[in-house]
Amino acid sequence: MTTISTAYSASIFDVERFRRDFPILQREVYGRPLVYLDNGATTQKPLPVLQTIERFHNQINANIHRGVHRLSAESTEEYERARATVQSYINAKHSHEVIFTAGATASINLVANAFGDAFVHQGDEIIVSEMEHHSNLVPWQMLCQRKGAHLRVWRFNDQGELNLDQLATLMGKRTKLLAITHVSNTLGTVNPIAKAIQIAHEHGVAVMVDGAQGIKHGKVDVQHLDADFYAFSGHKIYGPTGIGVLYGKEQWLSQMPPWQGGGDMVATVTLERTTYNELPFKFEAGTSNYIGAAGLAAALDYYSAVGPDAATAHEEQLLRYATQQLQTIEGVRIIGNAEHKTAIVSFVQQGVHPYDTGMILDKMGVAVRTGNHCTQPTVDHFGLPGTVRASFAFYNTMAEVDRLVEAVQRAKQMTA
Ligand code: PLP
């Protein structure tokens, strides 16, 4: 099925060769070659992913876990194979610790509801960091409201870093869970989650890691991290939209009640009462996105063949170059200067609204994101209306960084 990716174990990181796997990167916008620097929002899809989805629709499609017929059996096999691929990619101990969801947001909501129902009571506390995406903040606010629990905030400094010493001071007898992003989608900060998890566990606190950005920052090993929960979306790691993963330790998942009711999550149903299916199906009510799951598995296979470490090293080079070049432009201020950063550079231009910079860049064929990036408290920390955010993937090039810098210079001239 994946005919292309195995060719990519070369020791030299051959960006041009990888780019040929991404049809969309060949297109133009406004008569210029597209420079796609909005990878924090979603990544583009390589041919093996697109081919997997097409092949599934053309040759296999049937609903999973339900039919006795051949296609349904094949569909189910592909779906469970995809689960095994995810398990192996994140090094989960058991395949039933991998729950397929619609995405990172759905995964976090699942935990906020099911873990929240089982373990969070009036007067308990949940800790979130100040740099969370709304997806890893709002579900916890909602839980606290529902349960009469309290939200405590782990603040970051002006570099965009969290101080581990402060974490222990936030933990008390009533703390039930720490919700923390692996990588900030606005500041690019790579958080010291392994240490944070260790501290939390010393206090008997469970940890929900939002891995929406972290999943494509090198290799993730959930057992090594000792994360209780790790959530991510397929579309941010070169896979399809509408599919995501919740990894959860068996010890938690088995004690949590189901969140949504429906087909597939049940063992027996009478008009009076229902017993629930075993893990992972207990948390997969209704028809799962089985084709999306196969697409996600193809994406993980592809990315593994590219080499997560080599990809990350290349992205870090792009980050360094972009940071250095943008800083040469008068009036540009980089937001988020953590020592340990991923390939996300947020900035503002003196006297220019981020939205205007984004519009001018767009007209020059450079796609970036502007605004608060669903992290309003993060941009509020800096007293800003938003930032311009360029976020890189392994298929971006130094020449594209030059196009970004040139466009930002142009924006400065046009608005002077
Ligand atoms: N968390 C972080 C850090 C993100 O960057 C995002 C998306 O931008 C999400 C959560 C939500 O992901 P999704 O919209 O795919 O559920």
Region of 278 (left: φ > 0; alpha: ψ -120 to 50; beta: rest) is beta
Ligand 1 first shell, C-beta below 6 A: 41, 103-105, 133, 135-136, 181, 185, 210, 212-213, 233, 374
CATH of domain 15-45+307-414: 3.90.1150.10
Closest-CA residue, ligand 1 atom 4, reads: 212
Distance CA 281, CA 297 (A): 18
* Three-state secondary-structure class, residue 297: helix
In the reported structure, the alpha carbon of residue 414 is separated from the centroid of ligand 1 by a whole-number distance in angstroms of 33
Distance CA 40, CA 409 (A): 23
Report the distance separating Cα 92 and Cα 222, nearest Å: 6
Residue to mutate, 107, 109, 135, 137, ligand 1, most ligand atoms under 8 Å from C-beta: 135
Distance set, CA 238 to CA 21, 32, 110, 351 (Å): 11, 24, 23, 36
**Residue nearest to ligand 1 atom 6, measured at CA:** 212
DSSP 8-state class, residue 278: P
Where are the domains positioned within the chain?
Answer: 15-45+307-414, 51-304
CA distance 363 to 41: 19
Q: Which residues contact 248 (CB under 8 A, 6 or more apart)?
A: 97, 99, 111, 228, 229, 256
| CATH of region 51-304 | 3.40.640.10
**Total number of residues shown for the chain:** 416
Distances (CA, A) of 39 to 44, 57, 76, 401: 8, 27, 31, 14
CA 212 / ligand 1 centre spacing (Å): 5
Per-residue pLDDT of the chain (416 residues; tens, 9 = 90+): 333 333 334 357 999 999 999 999 999 999 999 999 999 999 999 999 999 999 999 999 999 987 789 999 999 999 999 999 999 999 999 999 999 999 999 999 999 999 999 999 999 999 999 999 999 999 999 999 999 999 999 999 999 999 999 999 999 999 999 999 999 999 999 999 999 999 999 999 999 999 999 999 889 999 999 999 999 999 999 999 999 999 999 999 999 999 999 999 999 999 999 999 999 999 999 999 999 999 999 999 999 999 999 999 999 999 999 999 999 999 999 999 999 999 999 999 999 999 999 999 999 999 999 999 999 999 999 999 999 999 999 999 999 999 999 999 999 888 87
Residue nearest to atom 14 of ligand 1 (CA): 105
Catalytic residues: 374
Residues in a beta bridge with 152 = 127
pTM, rounded to two decimals: 0.96
Residue of 236, 237, 289, 391 to mutate, ligand 1, most atoms within 8 A of C-beta: 236
- In the reported structure, the alpha carbon of residue 211 is separated from the centroid of ligand 1 by a whole-number distance in angstroms of 8
